[in-house]
């Protein structure tokens, strides 16, 4: 059973430098939900999509825009799902609060607000999700059979300014910060 303080919701999962996964290698995952009954899901936030950008996603929803902004691969499943990570200055009814500044929504009306220049100050569009069945993420974090220590994720709270951090260095910077935070707990 998941302990109250062991939920990874509101945290970043950061792939270890020696991670063996071809998809999750050098990934940073913003965890959106994590329960013992439903498992967990989050969004990879540092891997630009090679198949679509924001303009193409907008066109798929009949939204006209000239935005030439990158879309990101949120994960290897539900590739047609669209989620927007955004600041809290504009929220939707289904927005999920991650911390006091970061929210996640699947509302296409927020995408319309963005196109109409009424959207949040900062945002990132993700295609697909990363998900774990009940107990799977806990197993990965344990590093015990059938998982290995390479499955274990580094973790840290989602920074309030995560959408302002450079995507190109996000994984490396997050690894360093997570290790620093872990070391600081010992001193």
Task: Convert the pLDDT of each residue in 81-107 to its tens digit.
Answer: 999 999 999 999 999 999 999 999 999
Residues 89, 66: Cα–Cα separation, whole Å: 23
The DSSP secondary structure of 69-82, one letter per residue, reads: PEEEE--SEEEEEE
Q: Which has the closest alpha carbon to 102: 118, 90, 80, 86?
A: 86
Predicted local confidence at residue 114, as pLDDT: 96
3-state secondary structure of 177: helix
Q: Mean pLDDT, to the nearest integer, of 145-168?
A: 93
Domains and CATH numbers, the chain: 4-184 (3.40.1740.10)
**What are the residues whose beta carbons fall under 8 Å from the beta carbon of 39, sequence distance 6 or more?**
131, 132, 133, 134, 135, 136, 137
Q: What is the pTM of this model?
A: 0.93
Please tell me which residue, 30 or 22, carries the higher pLDDT value.
30
Please tell me which residue, 7 or 4, carries the higher pLDDT value.
7
Residue 21: is its pLDDT beyond 90?
Answer: no
Predicted local confidence at residue 6, as pLDDT: 64
Q: Which has the closest alpha carbon to 6: 135, 104, 132?
A: 135
Query: Taking all residues of the chain, what is their mean pLDDT, rounded to a whole number?
Result: 92
Residues 131, 40: Cα–Cα separation, whole Å: 6
């Amino acid at each position: 059973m998941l302990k109250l303080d062991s939920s990874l919701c509101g945290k970043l999962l950061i792939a270890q430098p020696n991670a063996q996964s071809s998809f999750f290698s050098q990934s940073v995952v913003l965890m959106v939900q994590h329960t013992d009954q439903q498992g967990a899901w989050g969004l990879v936030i540092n891997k630009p999509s090679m198949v679509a950008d924001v303009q193409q996603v907008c066109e798929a929803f009949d939204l006209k825009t000239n935005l030439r902004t990158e879309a990101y691969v949120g994960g290897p499943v539900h590739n047609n799902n669209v989620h927007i990570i955004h600041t809290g200055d504009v929220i939707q009814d289904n927005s999920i609060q991650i911390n006091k500044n970061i929210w996640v929504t699947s509302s296409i009306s927020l995408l319309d607000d963005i196109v109409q220049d009424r959207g949040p100050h900062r945002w990132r569009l993700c295609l697909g999700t990363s998900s774990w069945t009940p107990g799977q993420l806990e197993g990965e974090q344990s590093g015990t059979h059938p998982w290995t220590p390479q499955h274990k994720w580094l973790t840290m709270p989602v920074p309030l300014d995560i959408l302002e951090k450079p995507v190109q260095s996000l994984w490396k910077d997050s690894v360093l910060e997570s290790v620093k935070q872990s070391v600081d707990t010992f001193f």
